[in-house]
Amino acid sequence: LIDGILKTWKGATTEVISTISSTPEYAPTVLGSIPSMGEKEALEAINSSHNAFNNGQGVWPTMKVQDRIKCMENFVQQMKETRSEVVKLLMWEIGKNKADSEKEFDRTVEYIYDTIEEYKVLNHEGARFTKVQGINAMIKRSPLGVVLCLGPYNYPLNETFALLIPALIMGNTVVFKPAKFGVLLLSPLLKAFHAAFPKGVINILYGRGRAVAAPIMKSGLVTVLSLIGNSKSAIALQDLHPSKNKLRLILGLEAKNPAIILPDANIDLAVSECVLGSLSFNGQRCTALKIMYVHESIAEEFNKKFSAKVDALPFGNPWDENAFLTPLPEPDKPAYIQGLIDDAQAKGANIINEKGGERTENYIFPAVLFPVNKNMRVYHEEQFGPVVPIMTFKDIQEPLDDMAASDYGQQVSLFGKDIHTVAPLIDVLVNLVCRVNLNSLCQRGPDVFPFTGRKDSAVGTLSIHDALRSFSIRTFVAAKDN
């Protein structure tokens, strides 16, 4: 969708291959193909968004609030009709199980409605006049300019839209490039984008990052880089911008969220939350629990119950009714996870669950590794897949020191009962990360909650409320009585 035209592509294409199959006769399936666009289309797209914004004088950034809301309502109305097709593609393209795929779609629809409501509140507040020293002031929020938006493969709909929708509704124009996996599922939505928004307000293109995102950044026409992914790509893209210091960044990046299980924790609760927290969608969530710190006095019981629960998780195709664990969409992921396991075993860890590390071509059963130490790769790397490292601690200062030394600072899960221990700990933990989950797993939602991180985990805050502010600037009109 470039400059208001749904183009028919005649150039080179790239096949979209699905690795999703739990049968032993596994064979990758070609699901479709996408255009391999390059610099020419990238420049068409960025020029189109730049022209549509027209330095703040375009139709979209100057449109009345009610009319922008109508466009968004029109979009979401049409989007709802694509549910079954998008859900099917979520399962086939990224292997997300049926319940979670449906949840991702429904959560996104709800996200759009909630954003519209929050936008109304924001404008209602903004419409209030205050009078100070004889000057009437009307505070507003105004758009920033042109946004380049790059979404992740693990939430190709929901997280992408958590950038796209607030950026659009605030009056910015957007160029959007989907991730490598979870790309076909946007096709059913192209018509809705095309029908709902004026020409150039949203441009959607396909291609490798270096082929399309690089020329877009080099053009210098991007005002905001908004990306969910890794810090390496974010820095590389930022560096391509001719005036990178003026670029606004809204980034959701890596995390290595720990769970800390105190001696008085409810072990059964901690086990269920940690299994879900570490292995929902096979651990392919930036919010997943990626390292466990268990107090040495309860480690034996915790490990036994945790391993048994992991071994009982049903594996299957995403569309199988009970499947919790599903095949992995990235063909090289099983080998990468195997590498982490081999390294940990060579340095003294054991796989403590029976099924841990069982391999097929496109899957590796979650391995629970114990005891993990700081010399192991799995301690440092964001595994983003099915492997769970467990460490023990004697003194609570040990996990706190590790968190302070970490490059990341998104969330933590803390399990414990005694309020006199837990309360002062929370005061420390909120200074190390941005969300403390007491007796529960780490997660992003509900989407009204702030979603951000310290250090290399994020730049800017995404919640419905915060995202509208992130994608805009506070302006005001000051008027003297006459």
Contact region with ligand G3H (CB under 6 A), list: 4-12, 78-86, 363-371, 437-445: 437-445
CA dist 16 and 26 (Å) reads: 17
Q: What is the DSSP letter of 220?
A: T
Q: Under rule CB under 6 A, which residues in 140-159 are in contact with ligand G3H?
A: 154-155, 159
Number of residues that bind ligand G3H (CB under 6 A): 9
Q: How many residues can be counted in the chain?
A: 482
Query: Which C-beta is closer to ligand G3H: that of 172 or that of 287?
Result: 287
CB of 100 to ligand G3H, least distance (A): 9
Contact region with ligand G3H (CB under 6 A), list: 30-38, 117-125, 140-148, 284-292: 284-292
CB of 443 to ligand G3H, least distance (A): 4
Task: Rule CB under 6 A: choose which of 72, 192, 279, 286 binds ligand G3H.
Answer: 286
Q: Nearest 10 degrees: CA dihedral of 14, 19, 23, 27?
A: 40
Query: Which C-beta is closer to ligand G3H: that of 287 or that of 307?
Result: 287
> 3-class DSSP state for residue 323?
coil
Query: Which C-beta is closer to ligand G3H: that of 111 or that of 393?
Result: 111
Q: Nearest 10 degrees: CA dihedral of 369, 371, 374, 376?
A: -40
Which residue number is nearest to ligand G3H in terms of Cβ? 286
CA dist 478 and 7 (Å) reads: 45
Q: 394 with 296: CB under 8 angstroms? A: yes
> 3-class DSSP state for residue 43?
helix
Task: Rule CB under 6 A: choose which of 443, 452, 470, 472 binds ligand G3H.
Answer: 443
Please report, in angstroms and rounded to a whole number, the separation of the first and last CA atoms in the chain: 48
Residue 199 CB-half CA count within 13 A: 8
Query: Which C-beta is closer to ligand G3H: that of 41 or that of 382?
Result: 382
CA dist 402 and 392 (Å) reads: 12
Both tokens of 97, joined, read 């199980």
Site string for ligand G3H, 244-283 (x = CB under 6 A): ----------------------------------------
Q: Under rule CB under 6 A, which residues in 317-336 are in contact with ligand G3H?
A: none
Site string for ligand G3H, 86-105 (x = CB under 6 A): --------------------
CB of 453 to ligand G3H, least distance (A): 11
* Strand runs labelled E in 127-212: 129-132, 135-143, 146-150, 173-177, 202-204
Query: Which C-beta is closer to ligand G3H: that of 45 or that of 464?
Result: 464
Task: Rule CB under 6 A: choose which of 98, 141, 285, 333 binds ligand G3H.
Answer: 285
What letter represents residue 130's amino acid? T
Please report whether residue 382 would count as binding ligand G3H according to CB under 6 A. no
CB of 155 to ligand G3H, least distance (A): 5
Contact region with ligand G3H (CB under 6 A), list: 118-126, 340-348, 422-430, 442-450: 442-450
Q: Under rule CB under 6 A, which residues in 200-219 are in contact with ligand G3H?
A: none
Count other C-beta atoms under 10 Å from residue 249's C-beta.
17
Query: Which C-beta is closer to ligand G3H: that of 143 or that of 152?
Result: 152
Q: Is 444 exposed, middle or buried (0-12, 13-18, 19+ CB in 10 A)?
A: buried
Q: Is the dihedral of CA 321, 324, 329, 334 positive or negative?
A: negative
Task: Rule CB under 6 A: choose which of 11, 314, 424, 445 binds ligand G3H.
Answer: 445
Task: Rule CB under 6 A: choose which of 160, 287, 362, 457 binds ligand G3H.
Answer: 287
Q: 447 with 107: CB under 8 angstroms? A: yes
Please report whether residue 444 would count as binding ligand G3H according to CB under 6 A. yes
List of long-range contacts for 435-440, beta carbons under 8 Å, 24+ apart? 435/410, 435/411, 436/411, 436/412, 437/411, 437/412, 437/413, 438/414, 439/265, 439/266, 439/269, 439/270, 439/273, 439/414, 439/415, 440/273, 440/413
Contact region with ligand G3H (CB under 6 A), list: 45-53, 173-181, 326-334, 441-449: 441-449
Q: Nearest 10 degrees: CA dihedral of 320, 323, 328, 329?
A: 40
Contact region with ligand G3H (CB under 6 A), list: 26-34, 80-88, 356-364, 440-448: 440-448
CB of 285 to ligand G3H, least distance (A): 4
CB of 408 to ligand G3H, least distance (A): 13
Count other C-beta atoms under 10 Å from residue 67's C-beta.
11
CB of 99 to ligand G3H, least distance (A): 13
CB of 212 to ligand G3H, least distance (A): 23
CB of 152 to ligand G3H, least distance (A): 6
Q: 341 with 351: CB under 8 angstroms? A: yes
Query: Which C-beta is closer to ligand G3H: that of 47 or that of 443?
Result: 443
Both tokens of 40, joined, read 């020419």
CB of 444 to ligand G3H, least distance (A): 4
Cα–Cα distances in angstroms (integers) from residue 479 to residues 56, 65, 134, 292, 348, in the given order:
21, 21, 9, 58, 71
CB of 113 to ligand G3H, least distance (A): 18
Q: Which residues contact ligand G3H (rule: CB under 6 A)?
A: 154-155, 159, 285-287, 443-445
